[in-house]
Amino acid sequence: MKPIIRIAALAPIAALAVLVCGATCFAAEALATRPLFNGKDLSGWKGEGYVVEDGAIVCTAQGRNLITEETFANYVLDFEFQLTPGANNGLGIHYPGTGDGAYTGMEIQVLDSTHPKYKDLKDYQFHGSLYTLAAAKQGVLKPVGEWNQQRVTVMGPTVKVELNGQIILRANLQDLSASHPEHQGVKRRAGHIGWLGHGDRVAFRKIHIAELPPVANDEGVKADGFTKIFDGTTLKGWKHTPDTTNWKAVQGLIKHNGKPGPVSDLWTEKTYKDFTLVCDWRWSGRGPIKAQPVVMPDGSEQGRKEIEELDSGIYLRGNTKSQVNLWNWSVGSGEVYGYRKDGAMSAEVKAGVTPKSNADRPQGEWNRIMITLKGDRLTVSLNGKVVIENAQLPGIPAEGPVGLQHHGGAIDFANLWIKEQ
């Protein structure tokens, strides 16, 4: 809690339009959770002023922000917390890692709402509330000193908070963004999770998360002639070996953890000729700062710009040269780097494989891409915008598998569908 103070376009292509996000609910028993805290040390977290005591993360007098190294978008977060009299902390969500977490991200209050010194607070400052944005139901906290159980569900623009088995907050971030246009964090849809301390002793334990994919209209996609190429739970249908430990399938996601390993890429077992591929993808980690070329509309390069380097891509027809890049270069995702950098290609080809615009969403948020390949002609739509249109890929094989590339950045894929032409 801080001291008292007086944001979708539809794709122009039918198949992309039917694969839409929406609110959903998940039964507790169906969630594939993993720990965010190992109970022993602060591995996977960064910050200062927190210690580990008796299997819990404890905020000390020096405690301020302690945030996850990973970033998250859609998820269910479960944890237990223990307050001391008058204690004040917060759960940061969608935090970009800099600035005041209550404003650059959002803060869900963790507060001893019963203490007399807080009797004059605004309703949005009590426990469970989205600070400055939405008030939570009160009267559900256990007596100070006891452990409380809390679940926070974040799904696209919706946030739900459950305390000790009771729903105390439901919020729609789109509505809150409209009513609080000055608040930057409410516009975000991804970021770090963190504890936002104020030097009061608060303990957190049993911290688990279940990550969730964007919701897809499966029936609509099937009706449009698409076939699912990822079953949501295994890597069946993808070429991999037992030591493919950095790629995992869980809860509707194909995840790469960003670490080097013996197997860099995944390939479909099936081969394809002409097709349209639709999938969702997002960056789930951070990358090093590097200077990369600034690409001009004609495919030439002019100067360099420092970026947080994140790099992946989707290979077409078994050919690493015909890779639709997913990255955060200034030119944006969708570029076919292998053709743009090939000196034997004509100026027309190089310009054709250069994105018309940067349509990437903010880092960590979900992007939806559609790739259509007919003969040697490629069209790419990203987040409803056509960024590559009828570009020629001379010499591309007539048939081959689809591949997911790992090139140093932690990345998630979801909702992978393909329609053969």
Q: Report the number of distinct structural domains present in the chain.
A: 2
**Residue 387 and residue 291: Cα distance in Å, rounded?**
23
Mark whether 158 and 289 lie in a shared domain: no
Residue 175 sits in a domain of what CATH number? 2.60.120.560
DSSP per residue, 308-327: E--EEEEEETTEEEEEEEEE
Please tell me the predicted confidence (pLDDT) of residue 261.
Answer: 76
% of residues, the chain, pLDDT over 90: 87
Mark whether 262 and 177 lie in a shared domain: no
**Phi, psi torsion values for 337, nearest 5 degrees:** -60, -40
**Residue 1 and residue 200: Cα distance in Å, rounded?**
11
Is position 15 within any domain? no
Task: State yes or no: pLDDT of 10 exceeds 90.
Answer: no
Mark whether 177 and 273 lie in a shared domain: no
Mark whether 264 and 333 lie in a shared domain: yes
Is position 76 within any domain? yes
Indicate the residue among 211, 241, 267 that finishes a domain.
211
Mark whether 26 and 161 lie in a shared domain: yes
Label residue 20 by pLDDT band (50, 70, 90): very low
Please tell me the predicted confidence (pLDDT) of residue 31.
Answer: 86
Consecutive H or E run containing 174:
helix 173-179
pLDDT tens-place string over residues 353-408? 999 999 999 999 999 999 999 999 999 999 999 999 999 999 999 999 999 998 88
Is position 364 within any domain? yes
Indicate the residue among 176, 211, 246 that finishes a domain.
211
- Secondary structure class of 162 (helix, strand, coil): strand
pLDDT tens-place string over residues 156-181? 999 999 999 999 999 999 999 999 99
Q: Would you state the structure tokens that stand for residue 61, as one six-digit string? A: 């007098």
Average pLDDT score over residue span 72-98: 98
Q: Would you state the structure tokens that stand for residue 139, as one six-digit string? A: 């009267």
Is position 8 within any domain? no
DSSP per residue, 344-389: TS-HHHHHHTS-SS--PPSTTS-EEEEEEEETTEEEEEETTEEEEE
Mark whether 181 and 223 lie in a shared domain: no
Please tell me the predicted confidence (pLDDT) of residue 243.
Answer: 67
**Phi, psi torsion values for 173, nearest 5 degrees:** -70, -30
Please tell me the predicted confidence (pLDDT) of residue 24.
Answer: 41
Q: How many helices (H) and strands (E) does the chain have?
A: 6, 28
**Phi, psi torsion values for 380, nearest 5 degrees:** -130, 125
Which range marks the domain in which residue 48 is found? 22-211
pLDDT tens-place string over residues 243-293? 678 999 999 999 999 987 776 799 999 999 999 999 999 999 999 999 999
Mark whether 275 and 175 lie in a shared domain: no
Mark whether 158 and 53 lie in a shared domain: yes
Please tell me the predicted confidence (pLDDT) of residue 242.
Answer: 66
**Residue 282 and residue 363: Cα distance in Å, rounded?**
8
pLDDT tens-place string over residues 210-229? 999 998 888 999 999 999 99
**Residue 10 and residue 270: Cα distance in Å, rounded?**
30
